[in-house]
Chains A and B, each alone.
Chain A
Amino acid sequence: MWEKLANIDRRWLYALMIFVIALALIKPIGLAIVPSADTQKVYDIVEQLPPGSIVWMGMEFSAGGIPELMPAILSMIRQGWKDGRDLRFVCAGMWQMAGDMAEQAFSTVKAEFPDKEYGVDWVNIGYKPGGEVLLQQYQNSIIETAQGVDFYGNDLNTLPLMKEFTSLKQAKLVAIFCTGTPGEKEYIKHVTSPNNIPLIEAAISVSIPECMPLVQAGQIKGLVAGMKGAAEYEVLVGAPGSATAGMDAQSFSHALIIVFMILGNIGYVLTKNKKQAS
């Protein structure tokens, strides 16, 4: 009997893992999520911007970063647009899928804010080749650097927002969403430190340890740390979404592994005692 607990077929664990994760995604119960100081700072910074401010969004990631970063982007747009705060967003990126990511984010949130209009409330410049050199050039002229067109092929000169926003230096806030290099270090070096623009970031969990020194040094003003941070952000904005559901899945799967570890140890100890007794 006890030997069994110490040697449960690993496939039970695997099957249960799929089951609990699917269940948590389909029917999230919303375990209490308490925002950490870093996420709260991101929320406060966005909250304190005067209505109508222009925010630069750097989409520095590819499809693999979606589960952890997309919820943070959605929350930020929602926060910027709710209660007539009317922040305006300009998105671009050094990563090839930057345009697709921005498109995915705005097409999702747009459904909740029918009066928001492309070209007036947001612009998606998309990916442009050139790496970190781009960040320098965007400060001289955005339209020239982007070779005149946005992600969809529209002439940038025809978009009202771009008439007002000609240089990256005019941004009131830079918000970036990163999975690696190029990412925060390039922005700090070329954009936010020289021009004294506040920088906030959402990063995947794996790169958090690397970001922490930059946060401590004040180079990053606020950090949404991985899926956990994204879930906290969703809670702050009052729109629980995939990260909140994801955190339930995280809790469940962690609990499942812990239960198996405990069962294994019970089995191990009892089997050992029995052997010693006999």
Chain B
Amino acid sequence: MKKELPVAITLILAILYVLANYFTGVAFLDTAKNLLDRWYLIVAAWAVLVGSINLTQIHGRRISGKREGWIFSVWLLICLYGMMFFGIFVAKNASHPGWTFMYNQLIAPMNATVYSTIVFYIGSAAYRAFRVRSPEASVLLVTALIMMLGRVPLGRMLLGGHPALSQMADWILNVPNSAGMRGIQIGACLGGVATALRIALGIERGHLGGTGE
């Protein structure tokens, strides 16, 4: 019940899912596949509170211990429960104007802003990493340079209107880049499949843990 049955369930589900995806023409398997796809999402949905409980535990302990910055923890919990209760009991659906305001004016712009900060990090990573330190690093440097120049009007301007850089950039992207990525992809696929098999067979079972025994 405690260990063997969960492992058996893992294996049975994995086999069922593989058969349902590879084979057609069996009504039972088609139903099973649709059902499992749906169940996967429902299971995760009903487990959703695990995250909020963890946030509440961690920040609750920070507050009760009056640890450095505990006031931020108070604010985080206010935001969490405020938004949750507002959504469930006041807005009641995703088209409520207050709800869309919170999303469009706060959450979406914050998301877009953090996403956009990558522009800084991509700059500093390029500055730090692309040095002629070794032949390998030099290759990185040169291809990145060609790419960056070939992608914007600046590259053409530097060559007096000639599109050589942009053509070179296209070629590098379509040929060597694509070849290197494909080699990685093929190897990674085998690694992933083998890992999944070991999990399904219960050979790797760190997740079964030792609690409650």
A and B touch in the complex (CB under 8 A): yes
> Which chain B residues numbered 98 to 145 have a C-beta less than 8 Å away from chain A?
104, 108, 112, 119-120, 122-124, 126-128, 130-133, 141, 144-145
B132 and A268 contact, CB distance less than 8 A: yes
B152 and A13 contact, CB distance less than 8 A: no
A104 to chain B, nearest CB (A): 13
B141 to chain A, nearest CB (A): 7
Collect the chain A residues with CB atoms within 8 Å of residue B156's CB.
32, 34
A256 to B131, CA, bound (A): 16
A14 and B148 contact, CB distance less than 8 A: no
A9 to chain B, nearest CB (A): 10
Q: Which residue of B lies closest to A231 (CB)?
A: B153
CB contacts between A and B, total, < 8 Å? 82
Q: Is A153 close to B, CB under 8 A?
A: no
With A13-B124, A251-B153, A255-B154 as known contacts, state yes or no: A261 contacts B112, CB within 8 Å.
Answer: no
A267 to B34, CA, bound (A): 60
> Which chain A residues numbered 176 to 199 have a C-beta less than 8 Å away from chain B?
none
State the majority secondary structure of interface residues on B: helix
Question: Which range holds the interface residue count of chain A?
Answer: 20 to 34
Q: List 13 other contacts, CB 8 Å, given A17-B120, A33-B153, A251-B152.
A: A10-B128, A13-B123, A13-B124, A31-B157, A32-B157, A34-B156, A247-B152, A247-B153, A253-B123, A254-B152, A257-B122, A264-B128, A265-B132
Which residues of B pack against A, CB within 8 Å? 104, 108, 112, 119-120, 122-124, 126-128, 130-133, 141, 144-145, 148-149, 151-154, 156-157, 161, 163
Write 25 A-B pairs (CB below 8 A) sorted by A numbering.
A6-B131, A8-B127, A10-B123, A10-B127, A13-B123, A13-B124, A14-B120, A17-B120, A31-B153, A31-B154, A32-B156, A34-B153, A34-B163, A63-B112, A64-B108, A250-B152, A251-B152, A251-B154, A256-B123, A258-B145, A261-B127, A261-B144, A264-B131, A268-B131, A268-B132
